[in-house]
Amino acid sequence: MLRAFSHTNGKCAFRHAKCRHHHKSVLAIRREDVNAWERRAPLAPKHVKELTQMGYKVLVQPSNRRAIHEKDYVKAGGIIQEDISEASLIVGVKRPPEDKLIPKKNYAFFSHTIKAQEANMPLLDEILRQEIRLFDYEKMVDHKGMRVVAFGKWAGVAGMINILHGLGLRFLALGHHTPFMHIGMAHNYRNSSQAVQAVRDAGYEISLGLMPKSVGPLTFVFTGTGNVSKGAQEMFNALPCEFVEPHELKEVSQSGDLRKVYGTVLSRHHHLVRKHDGMYDPVDYDKHPELYTSRFNTDIAPYTTCLINGIYWEQHTPRLLSRQDAQKLLMPVRSAAGAPEGCPELPHKLLAICDISADTGGSIEFMTECTTIDSPFCMYDADQHIIHDSVEGSGILMCSIDNLPAQLPIEATEYFGDMLFPYIEEMLLSEGSEPLENQNYSSVVRDAVIASNGSLTAKYEYIQKLRESREYAQMLNMGNKKRVLVLGSGYVSGPVLEYLTRDSNVDITIASVMEEQLEQLTKKFSNVTSVHMDVLKHEEKLSSLVKKHNLVISLLPYSAHPLVAKKCINNKVNLVTASYLTPAMKELQKSVEAAGITVISEVGLDPGLDHMLAMECIDKAKEVGATVVSYTSFCGGLPAPEHSDNPLRYKFSWSPQGVLLNTVQSATYLKNGEVINIPAGGALLDSVTSMDFFPGLNLEGFPNRDSTKYAEPYGIQTAHTLLRGTLRYKGYSKTMGGFVKLGLINPDPYPLLNSDVPRLTWKQLMCKLVGIQPPVEYSVLREAVFNKLERDKSQLEAVEWLGLLGDEPVPTADSIVGALAKHMEMNLPFGTGERDMIVMRNEIGLRHPSGHLEDKFIDLVVYGDNKGYSAMAKTVGYPTAIAAKMVLDGEIDVKGMVIPLTKNIYGPILERVRAEGIVYSTHSVIRQ
């Protein structure tokens, strides 16, 4: 029997309303078209049959996706019809597209607008504009505030099936085959009975003792006592289970029977306590939830294998779990001694969370994104605060699908229709164009009306205030807060962070594999969050990080930049790096432009400041009509003279491997109109010349890469000489030449240095390089090396000084040069109180319109601070940070690949680096 009202007056009014409608009222079931998985309907054929028998016309929009076949609706008396404009009430499950709305109609569906959800505000605006009356199922509640129309039970059933399937996958990733592997996703079953049988079959295996012993007893915690929790428990009961009280969970989690699983149902009084006295008062809690805290993280979670969360979170109420809680819960447990490798213990107790509430940022704080039926699981890595799509790796398995009942669509439709049906007739017998106050709705229906006659109803006017408040906060946030991701925590990161954190509206995340460096940086700087990760080995995590930021600064080796750039392109995030614009980066030019982002390269020292100082001089010369006839630029990062006391005359404040490889690269330059090519492999070291512009420094220089390619971007095609080079103290090149002779500067893979093979000593490695069979006496090896070095005593002394003939283990590395770089970084660091220096000399020859020649000299000398930043860190870090800030502030808005060759970029950077103590000088010599 259809229930329109529960009181006599309502029935009288209802009959009068019926008399006013001389035509047959029409109801339409609209097609679900927002989500591919949405196969439900709000009413089943049995409900349609009852409505048609009562004299109502029911239209059903055709849909091959709907799980219940059209013929069943036709058999029940429904009419399959595309045009539903004659209906006075249009019902669906999910929201319709805005362009499918029909003006001045009654609509009923889950609108997801009551929290002013941003994604659905355009829909609400259109509903108001078209004067539609919107009934929202979510707000159909009884006098106790309990929902009377919901899919809750089937969300619980499907969620439980899914998480058992997910546990099977997670256990397998951790090294354990379990009976859960035979349970599929909920939508793989024709109905819940088939799913129950699959769960029972898995349970039977558990009862036989087939769960791996090393995983220990399994415990499941259900939050809430509503339909969601009950649905999940109904499926859980198909396992050999025992329900215990929450306070018993600790004991059974440690010594329970492995032939069963344990469950507990958590209510508020089990974990909520008042902050000041540790008591729980339900009346007081309803009035003042902000005075309470949850003990779930300490009393329940440490003994929980899987959490099934069915409670929604309201503002000012305690959360179940925070990010910090997760970090503590994921700390590895102490393994029992002697656990076999093939039977590992679990890394931590809490393995999985099924958040059926799908309430992002709610009671589970770190559940910030819902999963989907297509991709049902993700891993939350609490240590790095990253979510990645996988069941492998570190973290908690998360399942938070927001349309779970769609996986069991037929049963869910029938269940939901049974709950909705008693209220259909009173919604059906009103016209959306009539004033709301003239309708004699029951309180259940009236309180569910969100909008009517072009306005929000009085109960829901708060939605507009919520929107305005959020939009204002977003405006402030967009205008102020900017998020920067810094990749790498090496020498340069300090000045970068120091400069950017001067602006309190810049939040920085720094990601690095060097955990100790991260700790030091986050202690030193505010507004900085650290993420410990290897960027090159975790591309999914990198992509997840990139998309959360406005700009990325990559301080990684140049070879990593193309990978980082691709992630920035995919997520439309700007990128700044100090390294050369390599061919691999140039290949991405069109993709960068298509993405509409800015990628700035060569904005450090060399390349970087050398470009800027050159272009400042060149542009000024062109302004007076002069042409450039020659350009040479040499730059070097060196120890201060008093600290250059080793055979290399060098110490490392920059990437050791990059420094070493630079000596075996090819080089091309232009000299007096002739192109000079130097092949790779070490010939560069034979092209060393003395540099006497600072005689007291005893410098030498050699060409660096391809200098000729800068003729066009610098606009100096008139130059007959074009040379860019590297500065070192005299003796450096000769020593490096010895390393080249010995094959130590070899970047090719060398498997014998990998971490999975026995460690070689330097003595053993050197024997292999000179072709003698170990073991040998030191003197024999020394003589062989001396011969390999062509009897050069200074080169032999350098090899011995570095201990390369001794018994010290060679660092693990992918290549010989990689191992040498690590060794040099350990043996040639700057000591306490020692400082480095930067020396740069640009010489630019100009021909003026009068015919006379002018040589312009630009000198930059910067010393490191004894207790502060190195000169290299300052001269690379500050220009990089300044360029990044210019992008953030919109000063640099050009899209595509950019290097700092235009005045609007180099001008502000040069001005601002002077304020950081990076000061250069210029002087000229006029020649007739």
Which amino acid would we find at residue 181? M
For the record, the structure tokens of 295 come out as 């003990």
Question: Tokens 């199922």 map to which residue?
Answer: 137
For the record, the structure tokens of 532 come out as 């410990």
Name the nearest CA neighbour of 187 among 397, 353, 39, 356: 39
Question: Tokens 């009346």 map to which residue?
Answer: 283
Task: Label the pairing between strands 853-863 and 920-927.
Answer: antiparallel
Question: Tokens 């499926």 map to which residue?
Answer: 235
Residue 192: count other Cβ atoms within 10 Å of its Cβ: 23
Backbone Cα Rg of the chain:
36
- Quick check: helix, strand or coil at residue 129? helix
The rounded distance, in Å, linking the Cα atoms of 412 and 418 is 10
The rounded distance, in Å, linking the Cα atoms of 743 and 751 is 15
From residue 83, alpha-carbon distances to 67, 108, 132, 635 in Å are 21, 18, 18, 76
Helices assigned H by DSSP within 488-582: 493-500, 515-524, 539-546, 561-571
Question: Tokens 């919901």 map to which residue?
Answer: 150
The residues, any chain, with a CB within 8 Å of residue 181's CB and separated by 6 or more, are: 168, 169, 171, 172
Phi–psi pair at 466, nearest 5 degrees: -60, -40
Q: Is the peptide bond before 607 cis (omega within 30 degrees of 0)?
A: yes
Name the nearest CA neighbour of 856 among 623, 613, 602, 604: 613
The rounded distance, in Å, linking the Cα atoms of 283 and 288 is 9
Phi–psi pair at 330, nearest 5 degrees: -95, 5
The rounded distance, in Å, linking the Cα atoms of 100 and 377 is 33
CB 439 within 8 A of CB 35: no
What does 317-379 look like in DSSP terms, one character per residue?
Answer: SPPSB-HHHHHHHTSPPPPPTT--TTSPPPS-S--EEEETT--TTSSBTT--S-B-SSS--EE
For the record, the structure tokens of 152 come out as 């809750």
C-alpha dihedral over 143, 147, 148, 154, to 10 degrees? -160
What does 589-628 look like in DSSP terms, one character per residue?
Answer: HHHHHHHT-EEE-S-BBTTBHHHHHHHHHHHHHHHTT-EE
The rounded distance, in Å, linking the Cα atoms of 114 and 463 is 6
Number of helical H runs and strand E runs in the chain = 30, 34
C-alpha dihedral over 409, 414, 419, 423, to 10 degrees? 110
The rounded distance, in Å, linking the Cα atoms of 615 and 628 is 11
- Quick check: helix, strand or coil at residue 345? coil
- Quick check: helix, strand or coil at residue 921? strand
The rounded distance, in Å, linking the Cα atoms of 76 and 92 is 18
Q: Is 606 a catalytic residue?
A: yes
Name the nearest CA neighbour of 581 among 572, 591, 589: 589
- Quick check: helix, strand or coil at residue 634? strand
Which amino acid would we find at residue 636? G
The rounded distance, in Å, linking the Cα atoms of 484 and 528 is 9
Straight-line distance from the first to the last Cα atom of the chain, in angstroms, rounded to the nearest whole number: 111
Question: Tokens 């870090």 map to which residue?
Answer: 877
The rounded distance, in Å, linking the Cα atoms of 579 and 558 is 6
Q: Is the peptide bond before 829 cis (omega within 30 degrees of 0)?
A: no
User: Which of 355, 507, 606, 610 does the annotation list as catalytic?
Assistant: 606
Residues identified as active-site: 606
